[in-house]
Structure 1
Amino acid sequence: MTGLLPQLTRRVLTDGGLETDLLFNRGVELPSFASIVLLADDAGRAALEGYYRPYLELARRLGTGFILESATWRASPDWAAPLGLDQPGLDRLNVAAVEMLHRLRGEFGSTQDIVVSGCVGPRGDGYDPGRIMSVEEATDYHARQVRLLADAGVDMISALTMTNVNEAAGVTRAAAQAGVPVAVSFTLETDGRLPTGDSLEAAVEAVDAMTGGYPAYFMINCAHPDHFASVLTESSPWTRRVRGVRANASRCSHAELDVMTELDAGDPVELGQLYRRLLERQPQLTVLGGCCGTDLRHVTAIAEACLGLPSSA
């Protein structure tokens, strides 16, 4: 794909909760909740392709663009040892994840805009910020993975489930150094705030200030719409920077989700209607997908509820 990212001008879809779908719905083992390990063998690669293809078929049927996220959310340097890998081995899997997406785009891309996105997750836990790095440390930490993904040919970086401002700014700076666009997605608690207690407004404005407004846009992921709808009620410069939602299926808190042994898939149709209400108030939202507990059913319901709405993109 060349030129402007399609989601900057019109609505596109992306996938649901990759790891929760594979683990709970398909019985695929994911050590440390890391889908990157599936790139290591034929069976794992087949499982990933089997996950991606129905989403691409949905986008083709609906005539909309699609953002393909690489299976690299938990594939930054600190995760090599817990996954039983050395750093060169983890690097190779990062590249293989992007190569898979390019092959899929080659198969489906003739009829739609498909964006290949390099997914970058937090250094630590996706729910708990833990020790917060300085912006400089976060930049240095994430630079290796971001550069690998950029060199492998991604169209953009998606920093998903960011728990704090400094790490989000660090990934953004690493993307700027690599010369690749980046979308920054914050995870929010049930009160609509980051796990650090920062408001979404403060986080968006802080990352923009720290990076010269480098992010292409911001997103929200890994929270239910009921948790953040109240903070997206106005039209202002900061809300217009929020262009994507990847919500959880469940209304449970992160603490509750962390100890669950069974998946809470919620109600896909209801979730689609909650997205529709969000878009009616925030028509600049152009990236629609899911996070924990969601699968093709949820993204289909979201698409059917929202794709016909007017956009202010």
Structure 2
Amino acid sequence: MSDRLARLLASRPFLLADGATGTNLFEAGLQTGDAPELWNIDHPEKIEALHQGMLDAGADIILTNSFGGTRHRLKLHKAQDRVAEINGAAARIARRTADAHAAATGREIIVAGSIGPTGELFEPLGPLTIADGTEAFAEQARALADNGVDVLWVETMSSKDELQAAVAGAGSAGLPVVSTLSFDTNGRTMMGVTPAEVATLCHHLQPRPLAYGANCGVGAAELVAAVVNMSAGAEDGDVIVAKANCGIPYFEGSEIRYDGTPELMADYARMALDAGARIIGGCCGTSPAHLKAMRAALDSYSPGEKPSMQDIVARLGQISTGAERQASGETAGEAEGGSRRRSRRRGSDAAE
């Protein structure tokens, strides 16, 4: 088992993870509807260039181009029988790029095998069982592990069942596991998981992840709020991951852009560290230029107090009411009940 990630975490206050894969590949010519994972075979030089750009910007961790590498996602491109080939190529490209950079600079680099959702719903909402999901994730994880990754990086999960299956499948390959969820629905995942639940949830997963946290979502402010709420349930020694989208997405013609500047992402990186994250990176929209600003910001920063929700809004932008309620310890039901009570009281006052 590779212990490189644990060893680096033990020796450093933070590690910088890389930025976006998909949105940067669109800039390199990927077309909407195409599978980024097939570029590991068809355009390996472009994947290597993306990794190199992140390393030159200061990344300590790079993720393989394998987010949609399960058989369930690859079947959309009639490549479900190429799981080993595609994921193996992704791992080899990242590994050789990282090793060459390390040899040239003396910096030790972590290669993380990216494992994203299957795109299927789990029982009882859909056809996929936890056992079948675990098997599919294990197939992908073995291909990544056999070709040189240091850790399996389960990301952008939204349901407890799929998280359980992904961590179990990844863990079967014998490497450490990192897991992150995406909080994009009023402070929750699409399937209703809150940041406050994540620590307890991950503490009971088998195997227990080496690190856990949040990625993607709806912007830097919301992700830092999620980390603040998540850290309330963390135990001593827990390692929290923050990997936010680069601001808020918007359309420019038919293209999706992100409004986060390097300056905003630098401020996000500092706030994520203060919120309790020790692995900090970017997700959709985050370019090497953004990552370079984040590296400089973290290298010159002395951590401060945990930010309040007011601090987050003032510096990074608006957050959802759900995130605010979680920070105050108020559930959605309590908030609704309080609103009804206040409404009844106003009616009573009017009657008086």
Quickly say closer, same or farther: Cα 1:29–1:231, change in 2 above 3 A: closer
Shift of 1:146: 1.0
Kindly indicate whether the alpha-carbon contact (under 8 Å) linking 1:190 and 1:228 is maintained by their aligned counterparts in 2: no
Shift of 1:138: 2.6
Kindly indicate whether the alpha-carbon contact (under 8 Å) linking 1:250 and 1:265 is maintained by their aligned counterparts in 2: yes
Work out the CA distance in 2 between the residues paired with 1:311 and 1:173: 34
SS at match of 2:61: strand
- Mark the runs of 5 or more structure 1 residues left unpaired by the alignment: 60-64
Quickly say closer, same or farther: Cα 1:233–1:121, change in 2 above 3 A: closer
Q: Tell me the C-alpha RMSD between the 2 structures.
A: 2.8
Give the TM-score normalised by structure 1. 0.83
- Mark the runs of 5 or more structure 2 residues left unpaired by the alignment: 305-352
In structure 2, the partner of 1:221 is 215
AA aligned to 2:234 is: W
In structure 1, the partner of 2:149 is 154
Work out the CA distance in 2 between the residues paired with 1:156 and 1:132: 29
Aligned pair count? Answer: 292
Work out the CA distance in 1 between the residues paired with 2:228 and 2:64: 32
Larger CA Rg, structure 1 vs 2: 2
Kindly indicate whether the alpha-carbon contact (under 8 Å) linking 1:7 and 1:286 is maintained by their aligned counterparts in 2: no
- Percent identity among equivalent residues? 23
1:182 aligns with 2:184: no
In structure 1, the partner of 2:195 is 200
Shift of 1:8: 2.4
Shift of 1:30: 5.6
Quickly say closer, same or farther: Cα 1:237–1:80, change in 2 above 3 A: closer
SS at match of 2:117: coil
Kindly indicate whether the alpha-carbon contact (under 8 Å) linking 1:190 and 1:227 is maintained by their aligned counterparts in 2: no
Work out the CA distance in 1 between the residues paired with 2:168 and 2:83: 22
In structure 2, the partner of 1:293 is 285
Work out the CA distance in 2 between the residues paired with 1:172 and 1:31: 28
Quickly say closer, same or farther: Cα 1:94–1:231, change in 2 above 3 A: closer
Task: Output aligned runs, 1:1-313, within 5 Å.
Answer: 3-5=3-5, 6-9=7-10, 10=12, 11-23=14-26, 25-29=27-31, 31-32=33-34, 34-41=35-42, 44-59=43-58, 66-87=60-81, 89-110=82-103, 111-124=106-119, 131=126, 133-189=128-184, 191-211=186-206, 214-223=208-217, 224-233=219-228, 236-238=232-234, 241-252=238-249, 261-282=255-276, 285-310=277-302
Work out the CA distance in 1 between the residues paired with 2:247 and 2:133: 30
User: Which of 1 and 2 has higher RCO (CA within 8 Å, sep 6+)?
Assistant: 1
Work out the CA distance in 1 between the residues paired with 2:83 and 2:135: 17
Shift of 1:182: 0.5
Work out the CA distance in 2 between the residues paired with 1:210 and 1:117: 19
Shift of 1:102: 1.9
